Amino acid sequence: MKRNLLLLALIITCSWSFAQKTNLIFFTEGGEKFYIVLNGVLQNQKAETNVKVTDLTAPNYKLKVIFQDTTIKPIDKNLMFQQSTETTFNIKKNNKSEWVVRYQSEVPIAQSVPPPAGQTVVVYAPTGPAVPVPTTTTTTVSTTQTTTTGVNTTQPSNGVAVGINLGGVNVNMDIKDPTMGNATGTTSSTTTMTTTTTTSQTSMQTVPVAPTQPPAYTMPGYTGKVGCPIPMSESDFASSKTSISSKTFEDSKLTIAKQIIAANCLLSSQVKDLMSLFTFEDSKIEIAKYAYAYTYDIGNYYKVNDAFTFSSSIDELNTYIAAHPK
Whether 214 is in a domain gets the answer: no
pLDDT at 101 over 80: yes
The verdict on residue 105 lying in a domain is yes
Determine, yes or no, domain membership for 123.
yes
Out of 7-16, 49-58, 78-87, 185-194, least confident range? 7-16
- What is the helix (H) or strand (E) element at residue 284, kind and residue range? helix 281-291
Q: What is the mean predicted confidence (pLDDT) over 215-227?
A: 84
Report the percent of the chain where pLDDT is more than 90. 45
| 264 lies in the same domain as 162 | no
Looking at residue 126, what is its pLDDT? 84
Rounded to the nearest 10 degrees, what angle do helices 281-291 and 311-323 cross at? Answer: 30
Q: What is the pLDDT of residue 19?
A: 45
CATH of the domain at 38: 2.60.40
pLDDT number for residue 114: 87
pLDDT of residue 25: 95
Query: In the predicted model, is pLDDT for residue 299 greater than 60?
Result: yes
The mean pLDDT value of the chain amounts to 79
Q: What is the pLDDT of residues 126-173, one digit of tens each?
A: 886 655 555 555 555 555 555 555 545 445 555 555 555 555 555 555
Which strands sit side by side in the sheet containing 85-93, from one edge to the other? 99-108, 85-93, 22-28, 50-56, 120-123
| Per-residue pLDDT at 132 | 55
Could you tell me if residue 252 is inside a domain?
Answer: yes
Residue 220 lies in a domain: no
99 CB contacts (<8 Å, ≥6 apart)? 65, 67, 72, 73, 75, 91, 92, 93
Partners of residue 194 on adjacent β-strands: 144
Residue 31 covered by a domain: yes
pLDDT at residue 16, rounded to an integer: 42
Q: What's the structural domain count of the chain?
A: 3
Q: What's the pLDDT tens digit per position in 235-248? A: 999 999 999 999 98
Per the CB < 8 A criterion, the answer to whether 98 and 163 are in contact is no
Sign of the CA dihedral with 225 first, then 229, 233, and 238 last: negative
Among 83-97, 114-128, 135-149, the minimum mean pLDDT is found in 135-149
* Residue 88 sits in the same domain as residue 58: yes
Can you give the residue range of the structural domain that contains 58? 18-130
pTM: 0.43
In a domain, 61, yes or no: yes
Distance of CA 321 to the CA centre of its chain: 32
Could you tell me the pLDDT band of residue 325, with boundaries at 50, 70 and 90? confident
3-state SS, 202-223, equals: EEEEEECCCCCCCCCCCCCCCC
195 with 145, same domain?
A: yes
How far is C-alpha 3 from the chain's CA centre? 49
pLDDT at 174: 56
Assess whether 38 and 126 both reside in one domain: yes
> Would you say residue 304 has pLDDT above 90?
yes
Residue 296 gets the label, from left (phi > 0), alpha (psi -120 to 50) or beta, of alpha
Q: Are residues 180 and 248 in the same domain?
A: no
Asked which of 89-93, 202-206, 282-286 is least confident by mean pLDDT, the reply is 202-206
